[in-house]
Amino acid sequence: MSAEQIQKHFIRFLGSDVGVSFSNPLDPREVILYRPDKLSETFVTWAFEELKKTTPDVARKIDRLLVSYETRHGRTRRGINISSTSNVPQQRNPELSRVEASGRAA
Protein backbone atom coordinates (compact mmCIF):
# COMPACT_ATOMS: atom_id res chain seq x y z
CA MET A 1 0.00 0.00 0.00
CA SER A 2 1.40 3.34 -0.97
CA ALA A 3 1.48 6.51 1.07
CA GLU A 4 -1.36 7.79 -1.11
CA GLN A 5 -3.54 4.82 -0.15
CA ILE A 6 -2.78 5.32 3.57
CA GLN A 7 -3.62 9.00 3.13
CA LYS A 8 -6.98 8.16 1.53
CA HIS A 9 -7.78 5.71 4.36
CA PHE A 10 -7.24 8.30 7.11
CA ILE A 11 -9.13 11.01 5.21
CA ARG A 12 -12.04 8.61 4.67
CA PHE A 13 -12.23 7.82 8.40
CA LEU A 14 -11.24 11.17 9.92
CA GLY A 15 -12.67 13.65 7.40
CA SER A 16 -11.55 15.71 4.44
CA ASP A 17 -10.27 18.50 6.69
CA VAL A 18 -7.45 16.25 7.98
CA GLY A 19 -4.06 16.61 6.36
CA VAL A 20 -2.03 13.40 6.12
CA SER A 21 1.71 13.53 5.53
CA PHE A 22 4.72 11.29 6.02
CA SER A 23 8.31 11.78 7.11
CA ASN A 24 9.22 9.69 4.04
CA PRO A 25 6.43 9.09 1.48
CA LEU A 26 8.45 6.28 -0.14
CA ASP A 27 8.58 4.39 3.17
CA PRO A 28 5.57 5.63 5.19
CA ARG A 29 6.56 4.39 8.66
CA GLU A 30 5.73 7.72 10.34
CA VAL A 31 2.27 9.12 9.63
CA ILE A 32 1.49 12.72 10.60
CA LEU A 33 -2.16 13.78 10.84
CA TYR A 34 -2.89 17.52 10.90
CA ARG A 35 -6.01 19.46 11.68
CA PRO A 36 -6.17 23.00 13.11
CA ASP A 37 -8.15 21.79 16.13
CA LYS A 38 -7.13 18.83 18.24
CA LEU A 39 -8.18 15.39 16.96
CA SER A 40 -9.56 12.95 19.51
CA GLU A 41 -7.06 10.21 20.35
CA THR A 42 -9.94 7.73 20.45
CA PHE A 43 -11.05 8.77 16.97
CA VAL A 44 -7.51 8.45 15.55
CA THR A 45 -6.98 5.09 17.25
CA TRP A 46 -10.27 3.86 15.79
CA ALA A 47 -9.13 4.87 12.28
CA PHE A 48 -5.83 3.05 12.82
CA GLU A 49 -7.65 -0.06 14.10
CA GLU A 50 -9.75 -0.04 10.92
CA LEU A 51 -6.52 0.10 8.88
CA LYS A 52 -5.27 -2.93 10.85
CA LYS A 53 -8.48 -4.82 10.04
CA THR A 54 -8.45 -4.05 6.32
CA THR A 55 -4.70 -4.16 5.61
CA PRO A 56 -2.78 -5.58 8.59
CA ASP A 57 0.51 -5.81 6.67
CA VAL A 58 0.45 -2.06 6.05
CA ALA A 59 -0.56 -1.18 9.61
CA ARG A 60 2.28 -3.33 10.95
CA LYS A 61 4.79 -1.20 9.03
CA ILE A 62 3.67 2.06 10.66
CA ASP A 63 6.02 2.80 13.56
CA ARG A 64 4.73 6.23 14.61
CA LEU A 65 1.40 7.99 14.37
CA LEU A 66 1.53 11.69 15.20
CA VAL A 67 -1.28 14.22 15.50
CA SER A 68 -0.44 17.85 14.81
CA TYR A 69 -2.73 20.76 15.67
CA GLU A 70 -2.66 24.48 16.46
CA THR A 71 -2.50 25.92 19.97
CA ARG A 72 -2.15 29.52 21.07
CA HIS A 73 1.60 28.87 21.26
CA GLY A 74 1.83 27.52 17.72
CA ARG A 75 1.68 24.11 16.13
CA THR A 76 1.94 21.14 18.48
CA ARG A 77 2.56 17.46 17.78
CA ARG A 78 1.71 14.53 19.98
CA GLY A 79 2.15 10.83 19.49
CA ILE A 80 -0.70 8.37 19.52
CA ASN A 81 -0.01 5.05 21.20
CA ILE A 82 -0.41 2.42 18.51
CA SER A 83 1.44 -0.12 20.65
CA SER A 84 3.89 -2.01 18.50
CA THR A 85 3.00 -5.15 20.43
CA SER A 86 -0.51 -5.04 19.02
CA ASN A 87 0.89 -4.66 15.48
CA VAL A 88 3.47 -7.44 15.58
CA PRO A 89 2.59 -10.96 16.65
CA GLN A 90 4.68 -11.90 19.68
CA GLN A 91 6.85 -15.01 19.55
CA ARG A 92 6.16 -17.28 22.48
CA ASN A 93 9.08 -18.67 24.39
CA PRO A 94 8.89 -22.45 23.75
CA GLU A 95 10.53 -23.27 27.10
CA LEU A 96 7.98 -21.17 28.94
CA SER A 97 5.19 -22.88 27.03
CA ARG A 98 6.44 -26.33 28.09
CA VAL A 99 6.61 -25.26 31.73
CA GLU A 100 3.13 -23.75 31.55
CA ALA A 101 1.81 -26.92 29.88
CA SER A 102 3.31 -29.13 32.61
CA GLY A 103 1.53 -27.12 35.30
CA ARG A 104 4.80 -26.40 37.12
CA ALA A 105 4.65 -22.65 36.56
CA ALA A 106 4.84 -20.71 39.81
**What pTM was estimated for this model as a whole?**
0.73
Tens digit of pLDDT for each residue in 11-56?
A: 999 999 999 999 999 999 999 999 999 999 999 999 999 999 999 9
- Distant-in-sequence, close-in-space partners of 29: CB < 8 Å, separation ≥ 6: 23, 61, 62, 63, 64
Give the sign of the dihedral formed by CA 41, CA 7, CA 18, CA 22.
positive
Confidence band (pLDDT; 50, 70, 90) for 97?
Answer: very low
Structural contact between residues 68 and 79, judged by C-beta atoms closer than 8 angstroms: no
What average pLDDT is seen over the chain? 82
Structural contact between residues 40 and 69, judged by C-beta atoms closer than 8 angstroms: no
